[in-house]
Amino acid sequence: MTSVCILDQTLYEFDARVKRKAEALVAAGYSVDVLALRRPGGKRTFVLNGVTVYTLPLEKKRASLPRYLFEYAAFFLWAFVKVPLLMRRRRYAVVDVNTLPDFLIFAPAIARLMGAVLVLDMHEITPEFYMSKYGIPPDSWLVRLMKFQERISMGFADHVITITEPIQDLLVSRGLPREKSTIIMNAATRRVSSRIPPRPPPRARRSIWTRSR
């Protein structure tokens, strides 16, 4: 059975895009491992809908830029060691890396030497994300640094996934070969959406409100 490893620096259970991707791979007959963060009281390793999830006890905090950098570095180092150890017996064909951060694509560098293909799934665009979050000027040295690490990360990946055509165009303008990228938009899972009860028609809603009064 072909094996795939997914790196996702968040709580896997609540990352809808990555969960859909992992479960779709399982449904297609692949063996899937995910490296993610562990929620308080969560298990070190667990299986969810056929996906084996390995976790790091690192709390993700919405805080300062230095805190983000610490979290990125800690997860990177863990994945850098963990992926080759797992690959000795799993022999991953593909390692799928989900941003942020972009440079997480370098964590499975040893796996690449062992034959794995590296895919970079860019959920967020790093320079724009931090300019919006912290009000960093577009011409600052920090934004230039972010664009540089974005460019070398895309260059190191064997393939890049983006979520919209405008984002793909933006990344192409920054050096991504268009033929090296694929657009996979965010979409609702049919299995989940089918369980959501339909909204009652306006007349029914009014009658419910009337009865409740």
List, for residues 116-134, the tens digit of each pLDDT value: 999 999 988 888 887 887 7
CA–CA gap between residue 79 and residue 71 (Å, rounded): 12
Q: Count CA within 13 A, CB hemisphere, residue 7.
A: 35
pLDDT of residue 57: 93
Kindly state the average pLDDT of the residues 175-197. Answer: 69
Say whether pLDDT at 113 is over 80.
yes
Question: Helix or strand or coil: residue 79?
Answer: helix
Kindly state the average pLDDT of the residues 29-53. Answer: 95
Domains and CATH numbers, the chain: 3-212 (3.40.50.2000)
Alpha carbon distance, N-terminus to C-terminus of the chain: 60
Q: Residue 117: left if φ>0, alpha if ψ -120 to 50, beta else—which one?
A: beta
Say whether pLDDT at 195 is over 80.
no
pLDDT of residue 32: 98
CA–CA gap between residue 80 and residue 109 (Å, rounded): 8
Kindly state the average pLDDT of the residues 45-68. Answer: 86
Kindly state the average pLDDT of the residues 29-37. Answer: 97
Q: Residue 44: left if φ>0, alpha if ψ -120 to 50, beta else—which one?
A: alpha
CB of 157 closer than 8 Å to CB of 176: no
pLDDT tens-digit profile of 144-167?
999 999 999 999 999 999 999 999
The model's pTM = 0.83
Alpha-helical regions (H) of 56-162: 65-90, 109-113, 126-134, 141-156
Secondary-structure percent of the chain, ordered helix, strand, coil, rounded to 5? 50, 20, 35
pLDDT of residue 139: 87
Residue with tokens 């657009």: 183
pLDDT of residue 58: 86
* Closest to 83 in 3D by CA, of 123, 119, 116: 116
